[in-house]
Amino acid sequence: MFLNKRRSFLLSVLFLSLAASLFYCIFTKPKDKPIPVEEVFSQAPWSKPLPVLPPLAGVGEVRAENCGKCHVEIYAEWKTSTHANALSDLQFQSELSKSSSPRWLCLNCHTPVANQRETLVNYLNNGDYRTPIEEPNPNFDPKMKAEAVTCAVCHVRLDENGNSYVLGANGKTKPPHPVKIIPDKLRNRCLDCHNANYVLDDQLVCAFKTGIELEQKGNSHGKLACGSCHMGELQRKLVKPELNTPIRTSHKHSFIGGGVPKKFELYEKQIPGGYKTGLKVEPIQWKTKGNDLEYSVSLTNEKAAHNIPTGDPERFILLKISILDPKGKSLATKEIKFGQEWEWYPKARLVADTRILPGETKVWKDLFTGIEKSHSKIVFEMYHTRLKESNAEHMRKNSENITSDQLRKKISEIENHYPFSSLIHKEEIDLNSGKNRIYSPEELFRISKNRRGE
């Protein structure tokens, strides 16, 4: 009798459990529904790669290496650029390795052509970015993938018949490939990725607002095209000399930005690539009052049409002033940062923003106390910082999650491969003679390169 009751009780529990599960599946769990990516992200240009681009008549596959067969000089410049290193970037690869990373979405700006993608995402399950519906890409080109932000990203499009053509800025010759001269389309391309501003969830926020910064009230430089600063103009032949084409207006394709390259080896390319700081730095002002030394530093965002720094919200400008003894030993140091401060957990939010706006002047005043006659020098340094040591340490600890042996080793020793910051201004003042020395850009980049491993 007892066994029969026990059996009946167990059967009742099982039945209720099955009924509850069935009820949940039918009435609670959302049914799988593919939602187009365009609908979820309101057709944001960074939400999908460019469509598959077929071979270009007269050229072949739309790879940078094929463009470089004629555009030799431009190709050589591009290879040194941040664009060419956008996929191999160690910080980016570290971010991709996180379990929370929306890889398919991040890659849309770092490998922006469908030819570069092993799989394509056209739909999201129930509109959730965490459940992309990935489909194999029969047109995947691994060589082109390695080129990251390759020539075709800006310069190749599809005509009304689905054929590839080159998008040019000017044309005076008859190239071996189809071309359309539409300079405005080239000028506007940059902000498709450099104005990616979106909140995915509480912790995942993309906050690249360079385009928004260009439109700030009172920005006298806001109408400038990105290439005005980042693609310096020069006169040259666009293709190799043996093709006997005329000298024309061209632009550098090194895309130099804030002077922090993706590899130490690329420091020597910064100045030839066109690096110029957008900041006007006045010589440091100082005076002594008894045993106190007062100083004043003035910075003006004179040339940039965007905030300094812009882009990655974790970048900042670090100003550092030190008092040295006759042997060069630092006796006292003061620092200040100009950048953004974010609180990432439990919900990402911007806490403070002290970046330098277009046309704005920031003045840093302070004093050192207890100055003695034996103190001999003031040293003023300014760094453009991309990666803080605390973040680098987090990357080292999590490098074990990376499947590639080569990448894992590099990220575990990231200080040897990836510049965290660049010295962009240095000034020394002899307290006895009052003479000052301002370091040249060549000296600054040489110092930055030699900081490898620090």
pLDDT at 13: 44
Q: Helices 405-412 and 389-397 sit at what angle, rounded to 10 degrees?
A: 140
Angle at 20 between CA 14 and CA 23, to 5 degrees: 140
Which among 292, 299, 254, 258 is positioned nearest to 273, based on CA atoms? Answer: 254
Integer Cα distance of 282 and 291 in angstroms: 25
Q: What is the pLDDT of residue 2?
A: 43
Q: What is the largest CA-CA distance in the chain?
A: 108
DSSP 110-139: HS-BGGG-SEEEEEEETT-TTSEEEEE-TT
The whole-number pLDDT of residue 203 equals 86
CA distance 154 to 151: 6
DSSP one-letter string for 181-227: E-HHHHHTTTHHHHT-EEE-SSS-EEE--HHHHHT-TT-TTTTS-TH
How would you write the pLDDT of the chain (454 residues) with one tens digit per residue? 444 544 554 445 455 555 555 554 455 455 789 999 999 999 999 999 999 999 999 999 999 999 999 999 999 999 999 999 999 999 999 999 998 899 999 999 999 999 999 999 999 999 999 999 999 999 999 999 999 999 999 999 999 999 999 999 887 778 999 999 998 888 889 999 999 999 999 989 999 999 999 999 888 887 888 999 999 999 999 999 999 999 999 999 999 999 999 999 999 999 999 999 999 999 999 998 988 999 999 999 999 999 999 999 999 999 999 999 999 999 999 999 999 999 988 999 999 999 999 999 999 999 999 888 777 899 999 999 999 999 999 999 999 989 999 999 999 999 999 999 999 999 999 998 889 999 999 999 999 999 998 8
Nearest CA to 356 among 213, 181, 190?
A: 213
Instruction: Measure the CA–CA gap between 119 and 100, rounded to whole angstroms.
Output: 19
pLDDT for 19 equals 54
Q: Quick one: pLDDT at residue 438?
A: 97
Query: Domains plus CATH for the chain?
Result: 35-224 (no CATH), 264-450 (2.60.40.10)
Phi, psi of 182 (to 5 degrees): -135, 80
- Its pTM stands at 0.90
- With vertex at residue 324, the alpha carbon angle to CA 322 and CA 329, rounded to the nearest 5 degrees, is 110
Pairing of strands 119-125, 179-181: unpaired
Closest CA to 410 of 421, 419, 418: 418
| Residue 291 φ then ψ, to 5° | -100, 15
